[in-house]
Amino acid sequence: MAPVFLVLGALNGALSVALGAFGAHALRASLDPRALEVFETAVRYQSTHAVALLVVALLLARRPTGLLAASGWAFTAGILIFSGSLYLLSLTGVGRWGAVAPIGGSALILGWILLALGGGRALSGNLRPGADRDG
């Protein structure tokens, strides 16, 4: 699983930089200030959670656990749903996309909780190498 989350983290990091540049240069003239702010929020959360995916990958490489894998999938889903809905909201102006964002935000919060639990176990040394007692 570590390579999967390393790639997902790196790709999301690259995409967030590209989208941030696109927003700063191409969209600044065409979006109203509020829509641009929403777009920038999507970029910020995507880049932050791209780094979180890299942390998950590094911890999984050290000591694989189900909690860490679940954290990575929660971050991935959260990025897609939270940032994706905000990108769509800012670009289309369709307000219903704003109602989807809390679902993605909940996935991101779950990812952090699972990272705390799984990361703590991975770094505590309580598990034998290769053991996976938490699922």
Residue 38 pLDDT: 97
Contact yes or no for 129/63 (Cβ under 8 A): yes
Q: How far apart are CA 76 and CA 19, in angstroms?
A: 17
Q: How far apart are CA 35 and CA 26, in angstroms?
A: 13
Residue 99 pLDDT: 96
List the one residue out of 87, 64, 73 whose CA is nearest residue 15: 87
Q: How far apart are CA 48 and CA 40, in angstroms?
A: 12
Residue 67 pLDDT: 97
Residue 121 pLDDT: 83
| Weakly modelled stretches of the chain, pLDDT under 70 | 125-135
Q: How far apart are CA 27 and CA 22, in angstroms?
A: 6
Contact yes or no for 10/51 (Cβ under 8 A): no
List the one residue out of 120, 81, 118 whose CA is nearest residue 101: 81
Whole-model pTM: value is: 0.89
Residue 128 pLDDT: 53
